[in-house]
Structure 1
Amino acid sequence: MDVLNDMALFVEVVKAKSFRGAAEAINVPNSTLSRRISALEKAIGLRLLHRTTRRIELTEAGQIYFERCKRIVDEARLAHEQLGEMLEKPSGLLRVSLPVDFANTYLAPLIAEFAGLYPGINFEFDLTPRKVDLVAEPVDVAIRMGEPEPSHMIARPLARLSPHLFASPRYLELKGEPKSPSDLSDHQCLYMLKAKIWTLDNGKETVAIQIDGRFQLNSVGMIRRLASLDMGIAMLPDEVVSEELADKKLRRVLVDWRGAPTPVYAVTETRLLPAKTQRFIEFLRARLK
């Protein structure tokens, strides 16, 4: 049991990248942590960590040991929690990385509903456009849009969002309404960086249209906002512009055409998930479908 406890302490030190950070996180004296890790290295017969005044770094042996230990520790914690589920509902801190615009415009009401169902769960949300490192950073699950890149991560499909074309009534009054996809070349289009070709489909044919406009952006929220301010035509999922449609700030154009579906995934480091994470993914999958 001492070895298993020391393995857990070693994992916490590596995750925190320092003895001090790990000691604060798990409420164990810094001196105790240092002594236990030194005893672990002595028992193994190999140095696991390079220690400096500011941080620690893994040796080659330490990297191999960490990868194995982390899985063992995660499985032990999961087994403990699953037994606890027999007595109570899921609880604890759920840490989620979310795409900024999709979270603000569509996921927020769903998150509020989920929080009402599970009062024992607290939340830590990181709204960011970057792809967080699920191994190095303290994140339980990342919600990502677009096809997942090849990796050892586990990607669970949640939904596929079909984008349509939208513009404000005022813009269409000033510039006229496109009658076919080819007419888009005569309009101001609001598009993501390096995405100057829109692929549209009407169920019978698929066309690729070269589009142009004064605005190139890396924010779906800004595209939505500029479209509602009469600055051009945007291609966005219905879920992202639901409020603007209800307020009649935007309306569909070329209603028979749609863009290529955008998949939404829940990405985790492992298949072994605690109850809080499992429930969250299951809830989003049911609601997003």
Structure 2
Amino acid sequence: MELLNDMALFVEVVKAKGFRSAADAMGMPNSTISRRISGLEKAIGLRLLHRTTRKIELTEAGQIYFERCKRIVDEARLAHEQLGDMVAQPSGVLRASFPVDFAVTYLAPLIAEFAGLYPAISFDFELNPRRVDLVSDPFDVAIRMGESESSQLIARPLASLTPNLYASPGYLKRAGEPGKPADLEQHECLGILKANTWTLHDAKRTSTVAVGGRFTLNSVGMIRRLATLDMGIVLLPEEVVADEVAGGTLRRILPQWHGTPTPVYAITETRLLPAKTQRFIEFLRERLAR
């Protein structure tokens, strides 16, 4: 415990850029902090700081030690906050990254519900198809679909979304309705980027079908919209096209067949989360699993 306290003092000295500023911020005598840091250096056996009358500078060893200590001290603080938040309303700014179309079409109502449950939390969201770097970007959590990311990050499964085949009544009237997966080869199929095969499953079989069409897109929202405008067949999760199906602009075809389930993950840098992030992940897991 004494070592952890000295590490915290060291972090505060570096952040304050001096012993006097750190002493003022922490309400401790300057001489006490200086003595504790000197003791820390002696225990380690390396000099951590170059001291001058006007400022301090990190040594090479000090820079390495600071980066490690800061992470340890931050996690210790979060652990303390987390215990307090168990009996208090979580608060603060929740920074999250979402895939654009999934957030707009499916997560938005859930986010609104969560915001109503926790009025002390404010939100800073980025909707972007790129996979943000949680180590260098200051996000609390990233929601991602598909395979989990780097093994250095923590991936918490939230749900698994199964894509089905849909088309508009207008398209089916014009082009006819496929009766089996192989018939899709003769149809306009709207897919993501350069995907030229769809793998479909029924209760006993798997069928891989070559598909194509006039449109190549990188937006699920645009694919869905074109499908409602009679431009082709889509393979999308029910959750993404629920409004269109309810409104009659799309209907399911080949109902005994479905695509390969797509996992949804909450990605974080650490397992130790502040209450705002933990509650958000737990909320999404509960709602998406319904």
Into which bin does the TM-score normalised by the smaller protein fall? 0.7 to 0.9
Asked if the contact 1:191–1:235 (Cα under 8 Å) also holds between the matched residues in 2, the reply is yes
* Cα deviation code 1:252-271 (max 9, x no counterpart): 01111000000000000000
What are the ranges of 5 or more consecutive residues in structure 2 without an aligned counterpart? 18-24, 26-32, 51-57
2:112 counterpart letter in structure 1: A
Distance 1:46 1:181, change over 3 A: same
Show the counterpart of 2:8. 4
Comparing 140-149 and 79-88, the one that deviates more: 79-88
CA offset at residue 65 of structure 1? 2.9
Distance 1:224 1:8, change over 3 A: farther
Show the counterpart of 2:47. 45
Asked if the contact 2:155–2:265 (Cα under 8 Å) also holds between the matched residues in 1, the reply is yes
Comparing 78-87 and 186-195, the one that deviates more: 78-87
Residue-pair matches, total:
257
* Cα deviation code 1:204-256 (max 9, x no counterpart): 10010010101111111111111111110000000000111111110001111
CA offset at residue 150 of structure 1? 3.7
2:252 counterpart letter in structure 1: R
Tell me, in whole angstroms, the C-alpha distance in 1 between the residues paired with 2:216 and 2:264.
23
RMSD in angstroms over aligned alpha carbons?
A: 2.7
Q: What is the DSSP-based 3-state SS (H/G/I as helix, E as strand, rest coil) of the residue aligned with 2:110?
A: helix
* 1:163 partnered with 2:137: no
Asked if the contact 2:156–2:267 (Cα under 8 Å) also holds between the matched residues in 1, the reply is yes
* Cα deviation code 1:51-91 (max 9, x no counterpart): xxxxxxx9975664354223212222213312432552111
* Cα deviation code 1:101-159 (max 9, x no counterpart): 00000000001111111111111111110011111111000000001134210000000
Q: What is the DSSP-based 3-state SS (H/G/I as helix, E as strand, rest coil) of the residue aligned with 2:123?
A: strand
* Cα deviation code 1:27-50 (max 9, x no counterpart): x9xxxxxxx9xxx89x663579xx
1:7 counterpart letter in structure 2: V
What are the ranges of 5 or more consecutive residues in structure 1 without an aligned counterpart? 14-18, 20-27, 29-35, 49-57
Show the counterpart of 2:183. 183
The residue correspondences of 1:248-267 to structure 2 (distance < 5 A) are 248-267=248-267
Identity %: 65
Asked if the contact 1:8–1:69 (Cα under 8 Å) also holds between the matched residues in 2, the reply is no
Asked if the contact 1:157–1:265 (Cα under 8 Å) also holds between the matched residues in 2, the reply is yes
Asked if the contact 1:8–1:73 (Cα under 8 Å) also holds between the matched residues in 2, the reply is no
Distance 1:163 1:86, change over 3 A: closer
CA offset at residue 200 of structure 1? 0.1
Normalised to the residue count of structure 1, the TM-score between the two structures is 0.81
Distance 1:221 1:140, change over 3 A: same
Normalised to the residue count of structure 2, the TM-score between the two structures is 0.81
Q: What is the DSSP-based 3-state SS (H/G/I as helix, E as strand, rest coil) of the residue aligned with 1:174?
A: helix
Q: Which has the larger radius of gyration?
A: 2
